[in-house]
Amino acid sequence: MTARHTSWVDVDPGSDFPIQNLPYGVFRRGSGPPSVGAAIGDLVLDLAELHRAGKFTDTPVAGGNVFDRDALNDFMGMGRPAWSAVRRRIHELLGADCAELRDDAALKAKALVLQDDVGMLLPARIGDYTDFYSSIEHAMNMGKMFRDPDNALLPNWRHLPVGYNGRASSIVVSGTGIRRPHGQTKGDDAEAPTFGPSRLLDIELEMGFFTGPGNALGEPIPVDRAAEHIFGMVLVNDWSARDIQKWEYVPLGPFLGKSFGTSISPWVVTLDALEPFRCTPPPQGPRPLPYLRASEDWAYDIGLEVALQTASMPEPATVSRTNFKGMYWTVVQQLAHQTVNGTNVRPGDLYASGTVSGPTEDSCGSLLELTWRGTRPIRLPGGEERKFLEDGDSVILRGACRGDGYRVGFGEVRGIVLPAA
The identity of residue 20, as a single letter, is Q
- Taking 50 as the threshold, does the pLDDT of residue 2 lie above it? no
Q: What is the pLDDT of residue 5?
A: 78
Dist. CA 397–CA 407, nearest whole Å: 16
In this structure, is the dihedral angle defined by the CA atoms of residues 13, 18, 23 and 27, taken in order, positive or negative?
A: positive
Where helices occur in 297-391 by DSSP H, the ranges are 331-339, 367-370
Which is nearest to 241 in space by CA: 224, 262, 215, 227? 262
Q: What is the CATH number assigned to the segment(s) 24-121?
A: 2.30.30.230
Confidence category of residue 4, pLDDT binned at 50, 70, 90: low
Beta bridge partners of 45: 38, 112
The identity of residue 299, as a single letter, is A
**CB proximity list for 394: less than 8 A, separation 6 or greater:** 308, 309, 310, 316, 414, 415, 416, 417
- Taking 60 as the threshold, does the pLDDT of residue 108 lie above it? yes
- Taking 60 as the threshold, does the pLDDT of residue 3 lie above it? no
Dist. CA 29–CA 42, nearest whole Å: 15
Coil, strand or helix at 303: strand
Confidence category of residue 1, pLDDT binned at 50, 70, 90: very low
Catalytic entry in 138, 159, 182, 337 = 138
Where helices occur in 223-280 by DSSP H, the ranges are 242-248, 256-259, 271-274
Q: Whole-number mean pLDDT of the chain?
A: 97
What distances in angstroms separate CA 278 from CA 135, 259, 352, one per listed residue? 17, 31, 18
Dist. CA 272–CA 90, nearest whole Å: 13
Q: What is the CA radius of gyration of the chain?
A: 22
**Is 240 within 8 Å of 203 (Cβ atoms)?**
yes
Which is nearest to 177 in space by CA: 380, 389, 372? 389
The identity of residue 386, as a single letter, is R
Residue 233 Cα to chain centre, angstroms: 6
CATH match of 129-418 with 1.20.1250.20: no
Dist. CA 389–CA 263, nearest whole Å: 16
Please, what's the largest Cα pairwise distance for the chain? 74
Q: Over the stretch 242-295, which tens digit does the pLDDT of each residue have?
A: 999 999 999 999 999 999 999 999 999 999 999 999 999 999 999 999 999 999
**Is 205 within 8 Å of 238 (Cβ atoms)?**
no
Average pLDDT over residues 89-105: 97
Dist. CA 401–CA 25, nearest whole Å: 19
- Taking 70 as the threshold, does the pLDDT of residue 297 lie above it? yes
Dist. CA 102–CA 7, nearest whole Å: 10
Average pLDDT over residues 311-327: 98
Q: Please indicate whether residue 138 is annotated as part of the active site.
A: yes
Q: How many CA atoms lie within 13 A of 170 on its CB side?
A: 20
- DSSP class of residue 56? T
Number of H helices, E strands in the chain: 11, 26
Average pLDDT over residues 226-245: 98
Coil, strand or helix at 358: coil
Which stretch of 4-8, 76-80, 393-397 has the lowest confidence by average pLDDT? Answer: 4-8
**Is 361 within 8 Å of 370 (Cβ atoms)?**
yes
Q: Over the stretch 333-365, which tens digit does the pLDDT of each residue have?
A: 999 999 999 999 999 999 999 999 999 999 999
Confidence category of residue 115, pLDDT binned at 50, 70, 90: very high
**Is 309 within 8 Å of 315 (Cβ atoms)?**
yes
Q: Over the stretch 191-200, which tens digit does the pLDDT of each residue have?
A: 999 999 999 9
Dist. CA 146–CA 301, nearest whole Å: 30
* DSSP-assigned letters across all residues of 100-146: HHHT-HHHHHHHEEEGGGSEEE-SS----EEEE---HHHHHHHHHHH
Q: Length of the chain, please?
A: 421
* DSSP-assigned letters across all residues of 9-78: S---TT-S--TTT--EEEEE-TTS-EEEEEEETTEEEEHHHHHHTTTTTTSTTTTS-TTSSSSSHHHHTT
Domain map of the chain by residue range? 24-121, 129-418
Q: What is the pLDDT of residue 197?
A: 98
Dist. CA 77–CA 92, nearest whole Å: 23
- Taking 50 as the threshold, does the pLDDT of residue 416 lie above it? yes
Q: Is the pTM of this model over 0.85?
A: yes
Q: Over the stretch 147-177, which tens digit does the pLDDT of each residue have?
A: 899 999 999 999 999 999 999 999 999 999 9
